[in-house]
Structure 1
């Protein structure tokens, strides 16, 4: 007779669609919060002058909106290849969401201090890129989980995909850390480089679903 108190109950793998739905909600809230801090100063100055004076807020908003947008695209491309989720993958995904949910704060810091110039602008920019670098590190965790357990992948994909993507995530982490160091010295240059890199990274990610459909055909 089996003791019910010691009987092991099999753990059902978490459905990737639930992870995606939760992640989409977090990203939607974070990307909406970005705009809340863009406000006109309480001043009687000319309206056009006030609007133009908000350029640091516009730049910070554009960078963060693009960042979350690319994360969202990459996230969907990632889970299109995943058929089940294990513990390490859940941890990596939560780390990504941690950075996404936190991003409005360094965005506000950057918007408020970019125009200051000097040390404040450099520190604000480096802080912003530190958050971005940690986010890239979270993707390393996610792809490491897949590399260790290729059974997480849908049929047709192998661990080679995880190895390639892990290498790209490492490169992204190093690149963001390097741009953050540049930001300490020349913040505007670092932000422009970052925006160019984000757009460059987004293009192949947006093309990925078309490649998948072509392969299926």
Structure 2
């Protein structure tokens, strides 16, 4: 499951850059490159999103010793959102500079996709909460309850950012990038924490 998921994420994160293209124009090259700032911003946001999902995904399975049907469904929902992400990224890149309603709709659409992805994590952790035997030894059942609650908070927060994006797109993107960086830090720490647990268990 991890290998398949890694493959999907690798393809999705690579596809993000394909839509960054120079317009067919005879304008000054520097002006054209600077004019692509919406594409750069959308790419940065989506690359960071998939990167954090990848880190979180590995941290998740470091705590899982076996899977069941509901967990597989939740994992597919996460991959559904990851594979879909290049599309809202393109929409955002093409319409962010428009301003007005188009920029707001594109931003809200982008963050609604992110919110659905957070909802998929609720499904995954709920499967573990209902069957704590899926966890590796050393991880209490309370881990699943805590993570389910955090995923639900993430869903609500991203839905709120989508509403903000409908009216103030740049502010919403700024909030989101800060939130992604903040979420990445504990995800990056999990592998070390897992190894330390494994070391103590072997001792």
Gaps of 5+ in 2: none
Going by fraction, where is helix more abundant, 1 or 2? 2
Aligned to 1:103: 85
Task: From 166, 172, 189, give the equivalent of 1:207.
Answer: 189
Task: From 66, 70, 91, give the equivalent of 1:84.
Answer: 66
Decide whether the 8 Å contact of 2:128 with 2:144 is kept in 1. yes
**Which aligned segments of 4 or more residues in structure 1 are displaced greater than 3 angstroms?**
none
User: For 1:65-80, what aligned pairs fall within 5 Å after superposition?
Assistant: 65-80=47-62
CA drift of 1:53 comes to 0.1
**Structure 2 residue 131 is matched with structure 1 residue 149:** yes
Aligned to 2:16: 34
Aligned length: 199
CA drift of 1:204 comes to 1.1
**Structure 2 residue 189 is matched with structure 1 residue 189:** no
Mapped partners of 1:70, 1:175: distance in 2 = 16
Length-normalised TM-score, structure 2: 0.97
CA drift of 1:159 comes to 1.1
Across the aligned residues of Structure 1 and Structure 2, the Cα RMSD in angstroms comes to: 0.7
**Structure 2 residue 99 is matched with structure 1 residue 113:** no
Aligned to 1:173: 155
Structure with higher Rg: it is 1
Aligned to 1:61: 43
CA drift of 1:25 comes to 0.3
Secondary structure in structure 1 of the residue aligned to 2:27: coil
Mapped partners of 1:100, 1:166: distance in 2 = 19
CA drift of 1:214 comes to 2.9
Gaps of 5+ in 1: 1-18
Length-normalised TM-score, structure 1: 0.90
